[in-house]
Amino acid sequence: DTEVTQTPKHLVMGMTNKKSLKCEQHMGHRAMYWYKQKAKKPPELMFVYSYEKLSINESVPSRFSPECPNSSLLNLHLHALQPEDSALYLCASRPADRDTEAFFGQGTRLTVV
């Protein structure tokens, strides 16, 4: 299994809603990432988990809350989002070795209304 699976593929939520994005990989990768990508912009790093511990938080607003329940799963909990948070949210994983590439999921297209 060489895939990173993200669910859902599309999500529309209101500004008062609470929702979660999910990411799963079974490649034994111990580093997992959340990126946010706006149209015509590069992926912007949000969070990095290494060995199930949050190792990097790129000053992301608290309305985004990551969680890594185990080595295969990564969640992103969303609450009180703003319309400008609408974007493609990408999950990625890689082995816990710096000289390795990241494998990306297909992304969740989030629209906040």
Partner 1 sequence: QKEVEQNSGPLSVPEGAIASLNCTYSDRGSQSFFWYRQYSGKSPELIMFIYSNGDKEDGRFTAQLNKASQYVSLLIRDSQPSDSATYLCAVNMDTGGFKTIFGAGTRLFVKA
Phi, psi of 83 (to 5 degrees): -55, -30
| Number of residues in the chain | 113
The yes or no reply on residue 100 touching partner 1 (CB under 8 A) is yes
5-44 residues in contact with partner 1 (CB under 8 A) are 31, 33, 35, 41-44
Buried b (16+ CB within 10 A) or exposed e, 86-103: bbbbbbbbbeeeeeeebb
Number of chain positions touching partner 1 (CB under 8 A)? 28
Max CA pair span of the chain: 41
* CA nearest neighbour of 108 among 29, 15, 20: 20
The yes or no reply on residue 1 touching partner 1 (CB under 8 A) is no
Our CB check for partner 1 shows the closer of 6 and 64 to be 6
Least Cβ distance, residue 31 to partner 1 (angstroms): 4
Least Cβ distance, residue 3 to partner 1 (angstroms): 11
38-97 residues in contact with partner 1 (CB under 8 A) are 41-45, 48, 50, 55-56, 88, 90, 92, 94, 96
